[in-house]
Amino acid sequence: MTNSSIKVDDVTFDIAAGHPVSFQGKHSRKTLQGIDLDILVRSQDGIEQVEWLLDQETVQVNDPFAGRSYHASLRMISHSYQEGRPEHRYVCEVRERDIPSEFNILEIEGHQYPVARYIETDSLDDGIDGYALLLLSQEQFVEIQSLIKPGSVFMRRVGVDEEPLQVRYAGGMYWSQHGEGDSRY
């Protein structure tokens, strides 16, 4: 990675066009990186490249400030130009994707359960909604029924959270029985 340029996908910008930022990830709970970009583009080809980048959901960024590469979102803050002039100015923000950490065991009130799939979404009140698909034995299925109660419970993503998080159950809980070979879950 060169230290004199910022690379977003296959488009290179001078390092002077960027200013490094960092922020706390809501899902990952890690310090993440970003770049505030102020880009002056003078060619039609350059304008088309920036517009193409802005249409992408995720871009790959080589960040010379952080000294590493990461997946990021790219959002335009403002775009200005003067009719008859070739220059277009884009002010954009690049933000590293805030991805929840992966884990295989979910601990609820001290009881551990294997996780088949876990996703998180942003809730309307600036919180996080987590959805877990658990692989439970018949005994674990009976056990977890006693842990489902109104109010808050303590949950820990084993290998991710050092201390349990205080959470509450919400929404629907769906159960189904499956089998693989001789085992049922």
Q: Is 63:93 a contact under the CB 8 Å cutoff?
A: no
- What's the rounded Cα separation, in Å, for the pair 140 and 111? 9
pLDDT of residue 2: 45
Residue 51: what pLDDT?
Answer: 95
102 pLDDT higher than 90: no
What is the predicted pLDDT for the residue at 132?
87
pLDDT at 62 over 90: yes
d(CA 128, CA 29): 12
Residues β-bridged to residue 155: 108, 165
Q: Which of 124, 76, 132 is nearest to 100 (CA)?
A: 132
Residue 64 or 171, more confident: 64
| Cα(55)–Cα(68) distance, integer angstroms | 23
pLDDT in tens, 121-155: 887 777 788 888 888 988 898 898 888 888 889 99
- The pLDDT of residue 96: 97
Mind giving me the DSSP string for 102-159?
P-SEEEETTEEEEEEEEEEEE-TTS-EEEEEEE---HHHHHHHHHH--SSEEEEEETT
Pairing state of beta strands 183-184 and 179-180? antiparallel
- Cβ contact 62:69 at 8 Å: yes
Whether 131 contacts 115, CB under 8 Å: no
